[in-house]
Chain A
């Protein structure tokens, strides 16, 4: 079932690297997070505010909830955002993303220099996948990438070990629930609720 692999990738990314949208108002932190992500083989788009992030995702217009709006060609596998930002906080950005039909299934990770339990809880309740306390280290990013997207040698979901790159890429594709939504829209026979191994869509744990 090779049909899952490349159909939903936008033209500018012709490989299956994980694409991360990084949001941070600090220039220093943006440079660091960008490097951290690139060194772990991610493609990075770094923006300096929640508004720019929404613009990039095409969510800055009113019609984000309208399913008949033109399809987005933005392909984002993960959004990692600072919490404390002027204008729109990371929490507010998280809510907007989770409120969007197109991007609600994209995992969002919050970064914050403040290790406040109430803040962490609030973010997780709103649907954040994870919360990283700054300063961000290489081990944080590696851990994140590994458990969300697997690596070519380590898979943390239930499928059996894969022996070639094509299957790994398809697994990566299946972990992104947004793509699952599109797949089920495109091909009614595809089930999104089963968790069969390897090539079928499997829901990620909440």
Chain B
């Protein structure tokens, strides 16, 4: 059906742009390889866990940086976790901010940390919106009776 192939083309274009713009990297493709008929929702499930985890971490980071005496080890520990989970799902831009963030933690640079937290929030919301849009496209394809194209 024309509608299915159009949706599939849209999907490929959108996914490609996400990779090109650095929102996603190869690890996201790796996750898609782990999805099959026996585990058709694997990627959505992992990404949902990432969303939950991220929101908790962002809250913890905000709290930690608001303390009168900031415990940079604690801040670093949260960022380390965030770096790990974002890297595991291929959310490359989030991971990159985490790397800078950790440097500021090492320097105990509060300003730098606060700026990174802002950036982290921003990048997280961006990737979350884009992934949700991608998943919606997937659903549309499936509902139209088509299959989701595999990314190279």
The smallest beta-carbon distance between B31 and chain A, in angstroms, is 7
Q: Indicate if B62 sits at the interface (CB-CB under 8 A).
A: no
Contact present for A135 and B87 (CB under 8 Å): yes
Q: Indicate if A3 sits at the interface (CB-CB under 8 A).
A: no
The smallest beta-carbon distance between A140 and chain B, in angstroms, is 10
Q: Indicate if A16 sits at the interface (CB-CB under 8 A).
A: no
Contact present for B84 and A26 (CB under 8 Å): yes
Q: Indicate if A119 sits at the interface (CB-CB under 8 A).
A: no
Stretch in contact with the other chain, from B46-54, B119-127, B141-149: B46-54
User: Could you pull out 27 A-B pairs where Cβ atoms are within 8 angstroms?
Assistant: A26-B84, A26-B88, A27-B53, A28-B46, A28-B49, A28-B50, A28-B53, A28-B84, A28-B85, A28-B88, A29-B88, A31-B46, A32-B31, A32-B46, A35-B34, A35-B39, A36-B34, A84-B80, A113-B80, A113-B83, A113-B87, A135-B87, A135-B88, A136-B88, A137-B30, A138-B30, A138-B33
Q: Which residues of A contact B14 (CB under 8 A)?
A: none
> Which positions in B face A, CB cutoff 8 Å?
27, 30-31, 33-34, 39, 42, 45-46, 49-50, 53, 77, 80-81, 83-85, 87-90
User: Which residue of the partner chain A has the closest CB to B87?
Assistant: A135
Contact present for B49 and A138 (CB under 8 Å): no
Q: Which residues of B contact A39 (CB under 8 A)?
A: 34
Q: Which residues of B contact A113 (CB under 8 A)?
A: 80, 83-84, 87
Q: Indicate if A134 sits at the interface (CB-CB under 8 A).
A: yes
Q: CA separation between A62 and B30, bound complex, in Å? A: 42
Per-position binary interface string of chain A over residues 13-48, scored 1 when its CB falls under 8 Å from any chain B CB and 0 otherwise: 000000000000011110110011001000000000
The smallest beta-carbon distance between A28 and chain B, in angstroms, is 4
